[in-house]
Amino acid sequence: MASFEQTIFVYEQRKYSLQEILAVKSAPDWLQTVQNQIVEFISPRNEMEFQTSGSTGLPKTIVHQKTVLEASAKRTLDYFSLKPGASAALILPAQFIGGSMMLVRALIGGLTLHLLPPKLTAEEIPNVDFLPCTPAQFKAALQNDALRDFSGAILLGGAPVSDIAPVDGINLYVGYGMTETASHVALRSLSEKVYSAVDGVQFTTREGALVIDAPHLGIKGLQTNDLVHLIDARSFEFIGRLDDVINSGGLKIHPVVLESHFHSNGLGVCVSSIADEVYGEAVVIVVEGGVSQSSVKKLLKDVPRNQQPKFMLSADKLPFLESGKLDRNEVRRLIQESQHRLFPL
């Protein structure tokens, strides 16, 4: 078993070696999860199990060879030029692929990894070289001024980023990946629209859906549920999730595309649907906070009439999964249970 002597963990402003962080007693639940994931990775077993987030369907178990996890981690370390001694922070839940892969990167890359509770709102984020987080965590950190001294690279993933703007002094990147691909297989700068494959990955499409080939990850012909515009074998533009597509009167509407229109105006929304006798599905927009019906109608003026939501539902808070992704299943349930509160648009 490798010793990972170069890896340093920082917890509550104290530095720990690998063995010392594993020996911390009476640790909070989130740190125990970190300890368990580390133990699992350094154990003699050749595989690790991960749960998908369940953002669009039932969670399922994905099994990865540890050689795959290492190969994925090395691509990230190389892309962001993270050498031994470079610093990073873990604010993602360690049990999901995003957080677990940050632990793997730290271990095989000899990084100094700051361990923080995986909360939506972080009180303080250290000025590290590399920080993966969800868009929701990033926005909360900006609002709390937790990134006031930050000058490194931030990798966003797990949810749409259409409502996030570039920030001076911070290098913002967006990753494309999933549990099945052991983190991201493509990256882009926030200021760009085109995703570029990491080393060793190639793309094709099948009926518009992205297909991934990544020999170093043991992936051949993995068909996703993501509709893309393929530019070439190593780059694409993301359009939306095929399993989120709403078929309203024969017209296919992509929620992410419609949501981006509202996000650019600073509104938290989720576009979903409800069964309709005439159209098959009627588009419903769920709006977070006390946004008025007239405000929504005003923003819809720039949206083609046949793509506009038929109903609006106000919610105190949009539901998110522990992984940081919007819980679209919960949104659908909320709409079903709140049909008496739907406002016609």
| Secondary element (H or E) of residue 171 | strand 171-178
Residue with the larger pLDDT of the pair 174 and 2 = 174
- What are the structure tokens assigned to 233, written together? 């074998």
DSSP state of 51: E
Predicted pLDDT at 2: 59
Q: Give me the pLDDT at residue 169, please.
A: 85
In this predicted structure, the answer to whether residue 106 has a pLDDT above a threshold of 90 is yes
**If you average pLDDT over residues 316-331, what whole number do you get?**
82
pLDDT(322) > 80:
no
pLDDT digits over 133-166, tens only? Answer: 998 899 889 999 999 889 999 999 987 787 788 8
In this prediction, residue 265 carries a pLDDT of 64
For 255-312, write each residue's pLDDT tens digit: 888 888 777 666 788 899 998 887 788 999 999 877 888 888 888 888 888 888 999 9
What confidence score (pLDDT) does residue 57 get?
54
The residues, any chain, with a CB within 8 Å of residue 311's CB and separated by 6 or more, are 274, 282, 283, 284, 285, 342, 343, 344, 345
Q: How far apart are the first and last CA of the chain?
A: 62
What tens digit of pLDDT does each residue of 175-208 get?
A: 999 999 999 999 999 999 999 999 999 999 998 8
Query: For residue 1, what pLDDT is reported?
Result: 43
Q: What is the pLDDT of residue 323?
A: 65
- Going by C-alpha positions, the residue among 161, 212, 229 that lies closest to residue 191 is 161
pLDDT at position 249 over 90: no
pLDDT at residue 96 tops 60:
yes
- The secondary structure of 88-146, three-state, reads EEECCCCCCHHHHHHHHHHHHHCCEEEECCCCCCCCCCCCCCEEEECHHHHHHHHHCCC
Note the pTM of the prediction, 2 decimals.
Answer: 0.77
> Above 90 in pLDDT, residue 321?
no
For each of the domains in the chain, give its residue range(s) and CATH number, in order of start: 8-241 (3.40.50.12780), 245-344 (3.30.300.30)
Contact (CB, 8 A) for 35 and 24: yes
CB-based contacts of 214: which residues, under 8 Å, 6+ apart?
181, 185, 200, 201, 202, 222
Token pair for 305: 């009439």
For residue 224, pLDDT over 50 is answered with yes
Determine the 3-state secondary structure of 317 from DSSP: coil
Place of tokens 């993966």: 132
- Residue 53, pLDDT score: 63
Kind of pairing between the strands at 194-197 and 235-241: antiparallel
Are 83 and 76 in contact by the 8 Å Cβ rule? The answer is: no
